[in-house]
Amino acid sequence: MTERVGFIGLGNMGHGLASNLCRKGFSLTVFDLNPAPVADLRRLGAQAAASAGDVAAASAIVFTCLPTTASVEDVALGPDGVLARQARGGLFVDTSTVDPLLTDRIAADAARRGIAFVDAPLGRLSVHAARGESLFMVGATDRDFARLKPLLEAMGTTIHHCGGVGTGIRTKLVNNYLAIVSCAFNAEAIALSQKFGLSLEKTLAVVHGTTATNGQLKMAWAAKVFTGDTEPGFTIDLAHKDLTLIVNAANVAHVPMPIGAVARESFSNARTQGHGAKDFSAMGDIHCDIAHVARPRLEPQR
């Protein structure tokens, strides 16, 4: 018999994840503060709950996909939260990007209550979540991973079991560090190339043929900022939030992060100029504006 599944947090990522669970036949109970995505999920067959706690009470497996550490803490550990309402033997899965020390606290509290906990933060973008193509970085026991895997396969195409509880979120922070910091230094390099009067196409041809290239510049920027598209897939605000988590977590672990700290201030500067809601590849345009050079664009391929 299929276990009843709950989903809390139906934002850009959570809506896509939950929609795929519905479409693939899982019995779902959902909650979000915004009624619009709840109505969408009801049209797909989900049941709506009045609170996060009601989702937990109705579900053997509960997912959260929430925007901040504070919101996860409230939903997980609050008096009407998941752990207060979910039955013993349940499984609680957090897909959010949060302070890893909170992940550790939730896992410890869950264990005391006889509830299994898994951290399974996401890779890729909301468009991938909508298509069922998410990437998951999973921290779990082998037993809990086996229980969870069919649901992850319904929502994603790439699933990495990173190790025990807490390894998923820490892997996510390392991954996002590289992706976000590369946006910051790409922006400076592109602005410099334009100040030098270089051809964007020829510069990229050289860079992509050497070890200087990176995935952001070669794939994401080619599809986003270099075409003039800065509609958000992953925003500057979220990049700043994640770099703050990363630098703080590194400080706790006694790992110096001077490059990360500088990159965070670059994103902070972009936010103060009103660019926080743009895609983080827009850092390329922002740095060219600061350098007083034209924003570079690639010619459309015919």
What does the pLDDT look like over 191-236, one tens digit per residue? 999 999 999 999 999 999 999 999 999 999 999 999 999 999 899 9
63 close to 95: Cβ distance less than 8 angstroms: yes
Rounded CA separation 66/51 (Å): 14
Is 258 inside a domain boundary? yes
Catalytic residue among 172, 224, 241, 278: 172
Both 159 and 16 in one domain: the answer is yes
Residue 241 appears among annotated catalytic residues: no
Local structure of 45: helix, strand or coil: coil
Rounded CA separation 242/184 (Å): 14
Nearest alpha-carbon partner for 13 in 138, 156, 139: 156
Both 132 and 218 in one domain: the answer is no
CATH number at residue 127: 3.40.50.720
How far is the CA of 290 from the CAs of 150, 195, 222, 269, in angstroms?
Answer: 48, 11, 21, 11
In the chain, DSSP finds a helix count (H) and a strand count (E) of: 15, 9
Is 38 inside a domain boundary? yes
Is 241 inside a domain boundary? yes
Is 178 inside a domain boundary? yes
In one letter, which amino acid is 33?
L
What does the pLDDT look like over 87-121, one tens digit per residue? 999 999 999 999 999 999 999 999 999 999 999 99
Both 180 and 141 in one domain: the answer is no
Both 187 and 286 in one domain: the answer is yes
Both 248 and 277 in one domain: the answer is yes
Both 175 and 161 in one domain: the answer is no
Rounded CA separation 279/146 (Å): 35
Both 49 and 174 in one domain: the answer is no
Residue 144 parent element (H or E): helix 142-155
Domain end point (choices 165, 184, 210): 165
Both 132 and 13 in one domain: the answer is yes
Both 158 and 181 in one domain: the answer is no
pLDDT given for residue 160 in this prediction: 98
What does the pLDDT look like over 153-187, one tens digit per residue? 999 999 999 999 999 999 999 999 999 999 999 99
What is the average pLDDT value for the chain, to the nearest integer? 97
pLDDT at 28 over 50: yes
Domain end point (choices 165, 184, 202): 165
Rounded CA separation 284/27 (Å): 44
* Domains: count for the chain: 2
Both 17 and 155 in one domain: the answer is yes
pTM value is 0.94
Is 300 inside a domain boundary? no
Is 299 inside a domain boundary? no
pLDDT given for residue 299 in this prediction: 86
Percentage of the residues of the chain whose pLDDT score is greater than 90 = 97
pLDDT average, residue stretch 263-286: 98
pLDDT given for residue 1 in this prediction: 43
pLDDT given for residue 301 in this prediction: 65
pLDDT given for residue 302 in this prediction: 58
Both 99 and 85 in one domain: the answer is yes
Both 126 and 207 in one domain: the answer is no
CATH number at residue 252: 1.10.1040.10
Percentage of the residues of the chain whose pLDDT score is greater than 70 = 99
Domain end point (choices 119, 138, 165): 165
> 242 is in which domain, residue-wise?
170-290
pLDDT average, residue stretch 287-297: 97
